[in-house]
């Protein structure tokens, strides 16, 4: 498993958090996932066939930013 850490921007409430969480979990091979609503910090464990770019794209497709 690989670990990607990033900051998600644009989340305002629990609904936003659920949207981002679901978008990431829909990717294949996602293991551990932790996102802080307060800071936007995210830690994602994933298989080698999911790249950091795939995760960033899923977040952007859900309507949020990532850096």
CA separation for the pair 33, 4 (Å, rounded): 10
**Domains within the chain, CATH numbers bracketed:** 2-66 (3.30.70.100)
Closest to 19 measured CA to CA, from 56, 63, 54: 63
The alpha carbon of 32 is separated from its chain's Cα centroid by a whole number of angstroms, namely: 11
Residue 46: predicted pLDDT: 96
Compute the average pLDDT of residues 53-58. 97
- The residues, any chain, with a CB within 8 Å of residue 12's CB and separated by 6 or more, are none
CA separation for the pair 11, 2 (Å, rounded): 25
pLDDT tens track for 1-52: 999 999 999 999 999 999 999 999 999 999 999 999 999 999 999 999 999 9
Strand partners, 9: 65
* pTM for the predicted model, two decimal places: 0.92
CA separation for the pair 17, 11 (Å, rounded): 6
Q: What is the mean pLDDT of the chain?
A: 96
Residue 19: predicted pLDDT: 97
């Amino acid at each position: 498993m690989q670990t990607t850490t990033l900051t998600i921007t644009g989340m305002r409430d629990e609904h936003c958090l659920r949207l981002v969480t679901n978008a990431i979990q829909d990717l294949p091979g996602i293991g551990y996932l932790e996102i802080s609503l307060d800071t936007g910090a995210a830690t994602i464990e994933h298989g080698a066939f999911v790249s950091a770019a795939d995760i960033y794209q899923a977040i952007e497709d859900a309507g949020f930013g990532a850096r």
